Amino acid sequence: MEILYAFFVAPFVDMASDPIFFSEVVIGGVLTGIMYSLVALGFVLIFKASGVFNFSQGVMVLFAALTLVGLMEHGVPVWLALILTVMVMIALAFAVEWIMLRRLVNQEEIVLFMSTIGLSFVLQGFGETVWGSNVKLLDVGIPNESFEVGGILLNEFDLFAAASGALMVTVLAVFFHYTRMGRALRAVADDHQAALAVGIPLKTIWIMVWSVAGMVGLVAGIMWGAKSGVQFSLSLIALKALPVLILGGFTSVPGAIVGGLIIGVGEKIAEIYWGPLVGGAIENWFAYMLALVFLLFRPQGLFGEKIIERV
Amino acid sequence: MIYREAGQFKTSYGADQMIFPILQDRIFVILAVVAAYLVPLIANEYWLQAVLIPFLILSLAAIGLNLLTGYAGQLSLGTGGFMAVGGYMTYKITTAFPDLNVLIAVLLAGLIAALVGLVFGIPSLRIKGFYLAVATLAAQFFILWLFNKVGWFVNYSPSGTITAPPRTLLGIMVTGPEATAPVRYLIVLTFLAFFALAAKNLVRGRIGRSWMAIRDMDIAAEIIGIRPYQTKLLAFAISSFYCGVAGGLYVFCYLGSAETEAFDIALSFSVLFMIIIGGLGSILGSILGAAFITMVPIFLTNAPPLIGLSMPIDLQKHIEVMLFGSLIVFFLIVEPRGIARLWQIAKEKFRLWPFPY
Amino acid sequence: MTQKARQIGDTLLKVEGVSLTFGGVKALTDVSFEIREHEVLAIIGPNGAGKSSMLNVINGFYHPQEGAITYKGETRKQMRPYAAAKSGIARTFQNIALFKGMSTLDNIMTGRLLKMHCNFLLQALYLGPAREEELRHRASVEHIIDFLEIQSIRRTPVGRLPYGLQKRVELGRALAAEPDLLLLDEPMAGMNVEEKEDMCRFILDVNDEFGTTIALIEHDMSVVMDISDRVVVLDYGRKIADGSPDEVRANPEVIEAYLGIRHN
């Protein structure tokens, strides 16, 4: 009985008894969730436009942040470093298309997936060879003052992160649904050969989405890096973006956002209210379990299209 | 000229259904196995311990994953987790029953891993492809967390480490610090030889065909009377059994003692690399892939000093990672169907050599 | 018309009042007909008339909202594909559904899976019963390979075969199950005249030699009129005619459907 009480009643009593702390937990979760969403967004872009499950998105975040920090350490001013980093990410997109993707057209999904894992090794090794592997501090001048609203502690930096995340999503959603290029991207995702046959320039499209994904990665990298330093563990958040994708559906931009928020808030609450009961550190797996249970009820994700099978 | 099958006529379906229908292949395989058993006579401790033993154990795990991913088409990233079940359960069983033969403990641990695999295979009934892959990550992270947090699994050792206790077989020390590398090598080799053969038998018969049918077109498979649920779950169970046995051997015959970090996500990925590089849907490919993935880092570590290049350790580490990644991409571009396919092409060529047709 | 030695017998399968909808789209509306033992029944109709959906209902892949199916005296509203296969219904598909990664031999062997029962332990060891079972089924599969004249492509992965041969292999896989009822979804689509003739011969031979009941969908009218005993015509998900080829040919509604005279 006691154990049932501890699991099913006590946590809720705790939440109700200290609503201010609870709302701070939720807000903390929302902000982590936005970070996850930003990484997941990069995945969704590339998956939508090329059907490639890009495992290296996490390392791209790290790589972008490393490049930015590295340049700044060499005395390059922030604005120039940003421009240069964006150019590096575009160059990377070109390189990926030239060296990898164009040689793997119409290969099986798993082969493309594996090649991006290979790519993540290359990027990680390359980034650390050039810029070194020690933890770096990133300061691009985002305001970082705390203030109180109705007794709840808020932080300017976090709000800034949330705002830029929201902006990005809006822009991308509009781009996919209302522009000619967006339609071409969706056609490519459906079938490479068919898209080529109707005259969609596959290569241009790929370079474009990888560039955009690189920039999304840069934004995510700046946010994470400014918060917790630029280090290898940045690339591990990529793995956390996977359950986010599952919740949201692989091809849905809004899904990436909602999924990120659910995972972010869910795991924070679980860790703080239930974690101590089972020894803590459940943040490691909670997101995956949540996604797994969710999949059992809705295999196509929150926003994925329902799959109708036919023969 | 030597590799010819002309004149070898098969007179029964039995002869035609053999694993190696060509005489030269049979001779070659027998020689290779015999040679493998003679290796301890010439190889030194370093080679056995640092190269060959991990290679053989990971081959076993790769075969296990290939049954699931290459044959049954269910992508899994939870290999490390299932291997951990094997390792930790072997430890529990052999410390609880010290008189039980340790090899039997390994097999029992494999069975437990099979059960765990079965549970984590249940989502495959509803979801496919990358969605499933992410679901298997839940197995990976949850299992390791469990072993880390619950003291019972490590007999409440404060460091959370499991250490292989000394156990004997026929009076010879096979595990623990006293066991010599050659003995451990022979045990691991025997396990691999037996289970590789068993896997080959499985995939060329009824079960293998139903796995491949599910992989190639699950709807059609269901319509010709294959029950998808049972078939997929069986694949998960057998695959996890292989991984569990490999995990047990990994702790008891290779590492000696281990923490959960030994089975982290990096291990899952390297086993996945093995089967992709080696060849999906090929038992031989699993072994070749394991050889490639275990040998390349060793080569990369040893090559620069050999050619007189010296550089700081961490720089060398980064360059190694980079080269490793490039090699994988290169391989996928050159032959996405893996080393096993290259091997097959070479054989075809050799069959006709020196005549072009 | 070919002369057939076999006797057309009682009803093997009876479709009664079947309706099937996807969301708001009506694929089938109140369709009833029957298939008699040992006959060759053709289901025809313009594109989108619901022919393939009908086959999918019969072998349990689609579950109709209304109506019932009586097969071998047993009435049920729907069944699982597995159960259908087990009770002796085999089929081929409009868009070939072979297992592309496997050889011709292995593909046809999958047709025998339902008849193989050895457990996985015996199989892993390839001992006694497992080996004996494998060889026994191999022998009967070889019989089918001989029958379909595809000996030379036994070991070829089916993904590499030309279209016509793939269709033949698919027929082989269905035959391997030794079905009582064989459903063929456009077995001759995309074939040239020779291939069509071959396919017709195989179908008639199967019907003749093994007494297998066959229900097939086909667009080529000359083929349909030649080889079938009875014809069911569907249009817009409804049955508009049912009878011998000659009767159907004379039916005004059928003519209208095929010549595309406007409805209402």
Quick check: A182 pLDDT over 70? Answer: yes
Q: Which residues of C touch B227 (CB under 8 A)?
A: 82
- Structural contact between residues C241 and C251, judged by C-beta atoms closer than 8 angstroms: yes
Q: What is the pLDDT of residues B44-96, one digit of tens each?
A: 878 888 889 999 999 999 999 999 998 998 888 889 999 999 999 999 998 88
Residues 6+ apart with CB under 8 A from C15: C31, C32, C33, C34, C54, C57, C58, C67, C69
Residue A278: partners with Cβ closer than 8 Å, 6 or more residues away: B149
Closest partner residue to B220 (CB to CB) among C86, C97, C116 is: C97
3-state secondary structure B201-214: HHHCCHHHHHHHHH
Task: Report the candidate in C183, C158, C203, C92 with the shortest Cα–Cα distance to residue A311.
Answer: C92
Q: Does B307 touch chain C (CB under 8 A)?
A: no
DSSP A230: B
Would residue A146 count as lying in a domain? no
Beta strands in chain B (DSSP E): 162-163, 167-169, 172-175, 257-258
Question: Is the per-residue pLDDT at C75 higher than 70?
Answer: yes
Does the beta-carbon distance from B318 to A117 stay under 8 Å? no
Return the partners of chain B (3 or more C-beta pairs < 8 Å): A, C
CB contact under 8 A, B212 and C106: yes
Domains in chain C: ranges and CATH: 1-88+179-264 (3.40.50.300), 100-174 (no CATH)
Q: What residues in A contact C52, CB-CB < 8 Å?
A: 311
CB contact under 8 A, C124 and B202: yes
| Min Cα separation A209/chain B (Å) | 20
B147, B151, B154, B155: CA torsion to nearest 10: -160
What's the pLDDT tens digit per position in A48-79?
A: 777 788 888 888 888 888 888 888 888 888 88
Taking contacts as CB-CB distances below 8 angstroms, the residues of chain B near A124 are 318, 321-322, 325
CB contact under 8 A, B222 and C82: yes
Q: For C81-111, write each residue's pLDDT tens digit.
A: 888 888 889 999 888 888 888 889 889 988 8
Determine which of A101, A116, A245, A288 to mutate to test the interface with B (most B C-beta atoms within 10 Å): A288
Contact B223 C120 (CB under 8 A): no
Interface of C with B (CB under 8 A): 59, 61, 81-82, 84-86, 90-91, 93, 97-102, 106, 109-111, 113-114, 116, 118, 120, 123-126, 130-131, 133-135, 138-139, 142, 173-174, 177
- Chain centre distance of CA B251: 15
Q: Which among C100, C111, C130 has CB closest to B216?
A: C100
pLDDT given at position C124: 76
Nearest to B234 among C120, C133, C135 (CB): C120
pLDDT of residue B55: 93
- Residue A59 belongs to some domain of the structure: yes
Note whether B43 contacts A: Cβ–Cβ < 8 A: no
Q: CA-based angle B111:B112:B117, to the nearest 5?
A: 95
In a domain, A247, yes or no: yes
pLDDT of residue B309: 66
Region A94-118: mean pLDDT is 82
Task: Please name the amino acid found at residue A2.
Answer: E
Backbone angles phi, psi at C233, to 5 degrees: -110, 125
Per-range mean pLDDT, top range of A86-95, A186-195, A228-237, B295-304: A86-95
| pLDDT 10s digits, C18-74 | 998 887 788 888 899 989 988 999 998 888 888 888 988 888 888 888 888 888 888
Phi-psi label, residue C69: left if phi above 0, alpha if psi -120 to 50, beta otherwise: beta
Q: Does position B336 have pLDDT exceeding 70, yes or no? A: yes
Closest CA to C189 of C170, C205, C207, C204: C170
pLDDT at residue A144 is higher than 70:
no
Query: Could you read off the pLDDT of A26-56 as tens digits, one per residue?
Result: 888 887 888 888 888 888 888 877 778 888 8
Confidence class for position C3, pLDDT limits 50, 70, 90: very low
Per the prediction, chain A carries an average pLDDT of: 79
- 3-state SS, one letter per residue, for chain C: CCCCCCCCCCEEEEEEEEEEEECCEEEEEEEEEEEECCCEEEEECCCCCCHHHHHHHHCCCCCCCEEEEEECCEEECCCCHHHHHHCCEEECCCCCCCCCCCEHHHHHHHCCHHHCCCCHHHHHHCCHHHHHHHHHHHHHHHHHHHHCCCHHHCCCEHHHCCHHHHHHHHHHHHHHCCCCEEEEECCCCCCCHHHHHHHHHHHHHHHHHHCCEEEEECCCHHHHHHHCCEEEEEECCEEEEEECHHHHHHCHHHHHHHHCCCCC
Cα(B1)–Cα(A154) distance, rounded to whole angstroms? 79
- Is B281 in the C-facing interface, judged by CB distances under 8 Å? yes
Query: Residues A4-20, buried b or exposed e (16+ Cβ, 10 A)?
Result: eeeeeeebeeebeeeee
Q: C71 — contact with chain A (CB < 8 Å)? A: no
CB atoms C95 and A308 under 8 Å: no
Element (H, E) at A153: strand A152-155
Name the nearest CA neighbour of B56 among B39, B68, B69, B42: B39
φ and ψ of B98, to 5 deg: -65, -20
* Consecutive H or E run containing B287: helix B283-306
Say which residue, C184 or A148, is predicted with more confidence: C184
> Quick one: pLDDT at residue A141?
66
Name chain A's partners: 3 or more CB pairs within 8 A. Answer: B, C
Best residue in B206, B209, B240, B344 for a mutation probing chain C (most C CBs within 10 Å): B206
Residue of A nearest to C95 (CA): A311
Gap from C29 CA to chain A (nearest CA, Å): 19
Looking at mean pLDDT, say which of A102-111, A190-199, A297-306, C68-77 comes out highest. Answer: C68-77
- Using DSSP's 3-state secondary structure scheme, residue B52 falls into helix
Summarised one tens digit per residue, pLDDT across range C198-225 is 889 999 998 888 889 999 998 888 888 8
Which of B143, B318, B320 would best serve as a mutation to test chain A binding (most A beta carbons within 10 A)? Answer: B318
Distance from CA of B304 to the nearest CA of C (A): 42
Write the CB contacts of C180 (distance below 8 Å, at least 6 apart in sequence).
C12, C72, C87, C88, C89, C212, C213
Q: How many CB pairs under 8 A join B and C?
A: 102
Closest chain B residue to the Cα of A122, Cα to Cα: B322
Higher pLDDT, C5 or C44: C44
Q: Rounded to an integer, what distance in angstroms lies between the CA atom of residue A277 and that of residue C209?
A: 71
Better pLDDT: B101 or B21 = B101
Interface A:B, Cβ pairs < 8 A: 133
- The CATH number for A76's domain is 1.10.3470
Give per-residue pLDDT as tens, B211-269.
999 988 888 888 888 888 889 999 999 999 999 999 999 998 888 888 888 898 889 98
Residue A253 within any structural domain of the chain:
yes
ipTM passes above 0.90:
no
Residues spanned by the domain of A7? 2-131+156-297
Q: Name the residue among C94, C56, C57, C92 with its Cα closest to residue C77.
A: C57
**Is B222 in the C-facing interface, judged by CB distances under 8 Å?**
yes
Is A311–C97 a contact, with Cβ atoms under 8 angstroms apart?
A: yes
Residues B108-133: pLDDT tens digits?
A: 999 999 999 999 888 887 777 777 88
Number of domains in chain A: 1
Q: Answer whether A311 sits within 8 Å of C22, measured CB to CB.
A: no
Q: How confident is the model at residue C154 (pLDDT cuts 50, 70, 90)?
A: confident
B98 touches chain C (CB under 8 A): no
Check CB contact of A110 with chain C, cutoff 8 Å. Answer: no
Task: Kindly tell me if the per-residue pLDDT of B164 is higher than 60.
Answer: yes
In tens, the pLDDT along A270-307 reads: 888 877 777 767 777 888 888 878 777 777 667 666 55
User: Quick one: CA dihedral B168, B174, B177, B183, positive or negative?
Assistant: positive
User: Are the Cβ atoms of C100 and B202 closer than 8 angstroms?
Assistant: no
Give chain C positions within 8 Å (CB) of B223.
59, 61, 81, 84-85, 91, 97
Q: Of B201, B221, B238, which has the smallest distance from its Cβ to C125's Cβ?
A: B201
**Distance of alpha carbon C113 from alpha carbon C173, whole angstroms:** 10
| Average pLDDT rounded to a whole number, residues C120-138 | 80
Q: Is the pLDDT of residue A87 over 80?
A: yes
Taking only the tens place, the pLDDT of each residue in A122-138 is 888 888 888 777 777 77
A122 and B314 within 8 Å at the Cβ level: the answer is: no
Domains in chain B, start-ordered, CATH in brackets? 42-352 (1.10.3470)
Q: Look at residue B136 and tell me whether its pLDDT is greater than 60.
A: yes
How many residue pairs from chains A and C have C-beta atoms closer than 8 A? 8
Instruction: Tell me whether C93 touches chain A (CB under 8 Å).
Output: yes
The reply to whether residue C142 touches residue B209, judged by beta carbons under 8 angstroms, is no
Helix axes B129-149, B79-96, angle to 10 degrees: 30
Quick check: C2 pLDDT over 50? Answer: no
Alpha-helical segments (H) within chain A: 2-8, 10-17, 19-50, 57-73, 78-95, 109-131, 156-178, 180-190, 192-197, 202-228, 237-248, 253-269, 283-297
Within 8 A of C56 by CB-CB distance, chain A residues are 311
Residue A270 lies in a domain: yes
- In sign, the C-alpha dihedral spanning B314, B316, B317, B318 is positive
